[in-house]
Amino acid sequence: MSGLTAPYTYKWNTGATTKKVENLSQGEYTVTVTDKNNCTVTDTVLIKEPEPIAAQEFKTTPGTCDDPNGSAKVIMSGDTGPYTYEWSTGAITQEITNVRAGKYFVVVTDANYCTTTEKVIIEEISGIEIDVTTHIDPLCTTSKDGSIAVLAKGGTAPYTYKWIRKETSEVIATTNSISELPSGTYVVEVNDAIGCTKIYEETLITPEAVKINLGDDHSICRGQSVVLDITIDDPDATYSWVSDTGYSNNTPIVELKDPGIYTATITTRIGCVGTDQVTVKVSDNPIDADFLYSTHSFSDRQVEVINTSNPIGERVEWEVSEGAVIVEKTNEKIILSFEESDVPKTYHTTLTSYNKNEECSVSLTKPIIIEPGQGFSEDFDDQKFIKEFLIFPNANEGDFTIKVNLQESSDVSVKIMNLMSAIIDMKEVKGNDDYELAYTLNIAPGIYLIVLETPHGTETRKLVVE
């Protein structure tokens, strides 16, 4: 200190007693310095607050095409630089670039560590928008009568268009609309005057097909037929059947008897077409399905069913109604038993015969009425009651003998029935265990059924008359 003698003491109007005071706000500050001789000197200093820092302006570039290509640069006022920057994007430069349109913030700090937070909005030149003005799906699965039209807006007119089918890269149109289209997905690329691009895709739906399902190929026997129906719910539809053998028909329902490859076609009211094909094979290998059994019996008696098919099929299938049980089965016959019941019930038996190589089959179903049981039992000391039941000769011309041998003497009934189950002859004999019954019948050649009924069992035999 000039004119004073050290050491010195200091006293500030803030109360501080140090040589240096810091972190002061604006205002006047007075200090009194005293030396070792108690001499003093007082002085005053004025601290001025700098002008607050602020952004003078922002220079921005708008975003275009919905892309991150906008920019913003902050220009500060005053001369308290250099400045540091911290943007809401994380950037620490004076300018941010390659950003999308939107609102951004920047914190600026000057050389005096004064800060300010500024906001800038980067505008956007609107992107291209595409409106679909026409969408027409094709009428039929194979037709090319669909169309699409679009209208571009936003961006910067004028616009250019480029259409492709999604599955290909071939350009199919350069206008805002396309027509004569089959079903599928179509992609349009729209470009505006400043190079913005918008891509949009539209799908034309495949309509429901005209379906014909003729099923599997058919193999039938000579004399049989196949009935096929392709009717659809369209009163104005037209129908066509043709075959490789010259057959033709224009009705929805056909009965096919001859071999061939048949093609069915439906044309709807609006011109959509559906088609299917089926092969019909006709077998000339002989086939027959016929059987005989009594039309009435009792629930406590077994019933024998005789296969009278001529010829008997290479393979046969027997089916019976619920409540009936097949207790014995061969290709030539089956034996049935029935559930007990207090009321008469009707059952059905079905025989299906397959010809050689199983090229075709034929079926026959016949009913039988089963009355409530009569207390009848098939058991006889664990032995079969009917020991022997023979027809000889068999085949014959109507002259034959029936031989019956039983476990013990018993009354028996012998019925002869035709294929219609009509009884054409019946005999009742009594009192013996061994019978020989001679017959001379004037009946037509064919297959007949002979039914032997006893108190302890019933058996059936096939009679062949030539």
CA atoms within 13 A on the CB side of 156: 10
Model pLDDT, residue 372: 87
Q: What strand order describes the sheet that includes 177-181?
A: 128-136, 146-154, 177-181
Q: Prior bond to 344 cis, omega within 30? A: no
Q: Out of 84-88, 95-99, 304-308, 402-406, which region has the weakest mean confidence (pLDDT)?
A: 304-308
pLDDT in the model for residue 378: 54
Q: What mean pLDDT do residues 174-188 have?
A: 95
Rounded mean pLDDT of 436-461? 88
d(CA 107, CA 113): 12
Taking alpha carbons only, the member of 323, 387, 322, 312 closest to residue 356 is: 312
pLDDT (tens digit per residue) in 15-24:
888 888 888 8
Among 323, 327, 349, 308, which residue's Cα sits nearest to residue 457?
327
Q: Does the N-terminal peptide bond of residue 138 adopt cis geometry, omega within 30 degrees of 0?
A: no
- Would you state the structure tokens that stand for residue 114, as one six-digit string? 């004064």
Task: Give pLDDT tens digits for 249-260.
Answer: 999 999 999 999
Q: Which of 215-219, 288-292, 437-441, 456-460 has the lowest mean pLDDT?
A: 456-460
pLDDT computed for residue 81 by the predictor: 82
pLDDT digits (tens, 9 = 90+) for 200-221: 999 999 888 899 999 999 999 9
Residue 346 pLDDT grade (very low, low, confident, very high; cuts 50, 70, 90)? very high
- Residue 385 is predicted with a pLDDT of 86
pLDDT reported for residue 3: 63
What average pLDDT does the segment 85-110 reach? 93
Beta bridge partners of 296: 369
Task: Supply the pLDDT for residue 134.
Answer: 96
pLDDT band at 379; cut points 50, 70, 90: low
Q: Which of 141-155, 292-306, 321-335, 375-389 has the lowest mean pLDDT?
A: 375-389
Model-level pTM? 0.54
Span 380-392, pLDDT tens digits: 554 678 889 999 9
List pLDDT tens digits, range 271-286.
899 999 999 999 988 8
Domains of the chain as residue ranges with CATH: 9-47 (no CATH), 55-125 (2.60.40), 128-204 (2.60.40.10), 218-282 (2.60.40.10), 291-371 (2.60.40), 386-465 (2.60.40.1930)
pLDDT for 377 beyond 60: no
5 vs 325, higher pLDDT: 325
Question: What pLDDT score does 318 carry?
Answer: 95
Rounded-to-5 percentages of helix, strand, coil across the chain:
0, 55, 45
d(CA 245, CA 261): 8
pLDDT in tens, 137-165: 999 988 999 999 999 998 889 999 999 99
Cα(50)–Cα(114) distance, integer angstroms = 9
pLDDT value at residue 281: 93
Q: What is the pLDDT of residue 68?
A: 87
Q: Per-residue pLDDT for 1 more than 70?
A: no
